[in-house]
Structures are given as structure tokens and as C-alpha cells.
A and B are shown apart, each in its own frame.
Chain A
Amino acid sequence: MSVEQRLRDGLARNAEAFHPDVEGRLGAVRRGQRHRSRVQWALAGVAVLAFLAAAAALAPALLASRHRGDLRIDSTTAAGQVLTGSYSTTVAAAAGVVTDRNLSGTWTVTWNNDGRMGVQAPTGYTGVLSGALFQSTPGAVRTDVFGQDLCSGLQIGRYRWTRTGNALMFTLADDRCEGRVAVLTSAPWTRTR
């Protein structure tokens, strides 16, 4: 194996083995916190102990005001409340990206309330699908699904959506990723649960 191939394979595998605490870090950034050095952590520990002692006496008042001044974002308000449920579609074999990237077959996507997408791909597709996110409003959705390989380096996709009964239909608003466009828009999606 060439060192170049080892680098491409090995770096990708090593990178994917790391699962950062995204929500925890978002919480810290909401509070405007930079990370702390060890000394700062030690000082912070002392401060926390003092705070806990004070909080025990002032708990009701602190609880009432704890969110004041924070960024008021959480996963339940970050959208996903409009477009929810599991839907399946079948992408028909076709020349171009569908064949080149093994996209044909049945796809199932679960749109969760917390803005995360669960994606089940046809057996022929071997790309990374974990960690996909979406944000929806009535009639519009944007998503980074396939962002780790099929659409790597491209902006998130923006689509319009309509739902009639159990049928869900996406139409392209703005997306330069041909593969994502093919999966989402080539056929209507049917609700599975």
C-alpha cells in the first residue's frame, strides 16, 4: 500500500472514531465559555464549592433565574417539530450519480423532534450516515445529511416539502450535492410510522 492510501484510509478511520460531546460543548458556548487551563479549573473548582454552599441556601431563587442571559436554544426548539416521523422512498436505478454512488434502492429516513435524522440506506450504499441533522419550518427544510462523504465540502441542502396524507414530497430549493438531490427528490416518500 502506498503511504498516500494509508493516509486517506487511516486518517478517515481515526477521525470517525472520535465522537465529540457536541451538545455539552454547545451548552458551554451558550454561556460564552472558553475552555479553561488546569489552573483555571482548580480555581473554578474552589469557586464551585463556594457556589454550591450558597446555592443550597438560595436554590429557589437561583432556579427561577438560571436561564437569564443564556442563549435560549435547545434541541426541542431547534426545529424538527414540524417535519417528524419515518418515511421511505425507492430511488430507481439511473445513470449518473445514482449509479456512480450506489444510491438506488429503498431509503428510510426518520425525522426526529430533536433535529436529528436517522437514515437507513439500501444495502449497496456504504457511505457514512451517522450524525445527520435537519432544521425544518412549515414548507421548508435544510439538512446536512451525506455531509461526511457524498456531499463532503458542500453546503447544506435546502428543500421545500409538502405532505399529503402519508405522502411526503421534497422539491429542490438550493443544493449543489447531486446525490442528496437524487435521494430526496427523485420519488415521493411514504410514511412508515
Chain B
Amino acid sequence: MGVAVKDRAELEFAWLFRSHFASIARTVNLVVADRSRAEDLTQDAFVQLWRNWATVEGYERPDAWVRRVAIRLAVRAAQRERLRPFLELRSRRLFEDPAPDPDLADAIATLAPMQRAAVVLYYLEDRTVADVADLLHVSESTVKQHLHRARRRLAGLLNEEVAEDVR
């Protein structure tokens, strides 16, 4: 790669990084419920992006590529984290600033990782069921099932009502 081409690639990458890292890390944080871990996982996704930059740069949405990688890393990490003792995870979160809606954060943390990811993508990122299914690599009916079960559980934990709104 020539110097000028490499410089341009580095500038483009840094631009994309600065534009999207925070947003992706915020979504990942809601899936893994751990800010430091969220930054780690998002960083890993961007390292993968940089390693594949020559290819991904040409895509219409390189940011969508890295977001997809980060979300999948987050779901896998959350699945592994569920095997850890609950108290260890809670004590680690004590060192973080509390979320503005801590009851919701705690309730979300009780969901299965795929349910968490579906809820975050659907309600935070305002994605369609088809988008969520594509990102999580599952069928649309599976996403609807995750959302349905998550809503029921969260409604019970938060004493809220359920109004079906899946598109």
C-alpha cells in the first residue's frame, strides 16, 4: 500500500471510528451491562474492521459492518458472563456511575442475552424486526418471540403494562 493510500485509509478509518465508536459502545453496554467490557468489545470489533479495511471500506455502510460484529461479540460475551457468579458481576458494577434508570438496567440484566440484544436493538436503535433478525442471525419469528418474552418479564419486574407493538 503506498504512503498516500495508507494515509487516506487511516484518515477514513479514524473518521469512522470517531463517528461511531461511542454509539456502538453504548448499545453493547446495554447488552453486557458493563461499561469497561463494552469498550473492550467495541474496540475488538474495530480492530477486526481495521484488519479488513481494504475490503470493508468499499461497502456502502462500513459502520453497519462493525456494528454487526460488535453486537455479535456482545451477545457471545453476555452468554459467557451468565456463567459467572451474579455477585461478582454486581460488585463490578458498583464501581460504575449508576444508570439514570437503574431499575430498568437491573431488569434488563435478568434477560437472556439474545433477549437483551433484541430489546436493545428494537427499542433503543429503533430497528425493525427484520433488521434485528438479520443482525442477530436468527429468524424474524425468533426475534418476535424474544421480544414477547422479554416484554412480559420486564413488565412484571417493573410493574408496567404490556401493549403489543411489534412491527
Contacts and interface: CB of A to CB of B under 8 A. Distances in A.
Contacts of B89: none
Contacts, number: 143
A52 to B, nearest CB: 24
B140 interface: no
B84 to A, nearest CB: 12
A79 B25 CA distance: 24
A26 B14 contact: yes
Nearest to B163: A2
Which label, helix, strand, loop or mixed, suits the secondary structure of the B interface?
Answer: helix
Contacts of B155: 3
Given A25-B42, A73-B14, A17 B47 contact: no
A26 B25 CA distance: 13
A29 interface: yes
Nearest to B96: A18
B54 interface: no
B21 interface: yes
A4 interface: yes
B88 interface: no
B13 A73 contact: yes
Contacts of B23: 147-148
B105 A73 contact: no
- Size class of the contact patch on chain B: 35 or more
B49 to A, nearest CB: 9
Contact of A7 (B11, B46, B119): B119
Nearest to B155: A3
B17 A4 contact: no
Contact of B126 (A22, A25, A153, A155): A153
- Size class of the contact patch on chain A: 35 or more
Which label, helix, strand, loop or mixed, suits the secondary structure of the A interface?
Answer: loop
B154 interface: yes
Interface string A1-40: 1111011111111111111111001101100111100000
A34 B47 contact: yes
Contacts of A79: 11, 15
A156 B20 CA distance: 11
A35 B40 contact: yes
A78 interface: yes
A14 B123 contact: no
B94 interface: no
B19 interface: yes
20 contacts: A2-B160, A3-B154, A6-B160, A7-B104, A7-B123, A7-B154, A10-B104, A14-B100, A17-B100, A18-B29, A20-B25, A21-B39, A35-B43, A71-B10, A73-B10, A133-B19, A144-B19, A153-B126, A155-B61, A156-B19
Given A7-B104, A18-B25, 9 more contacts: A4-B123, A11-B108, A15-B26, A15-B30, A29-B46, A29-B50, A33-B43, A78-B18, A131-B22
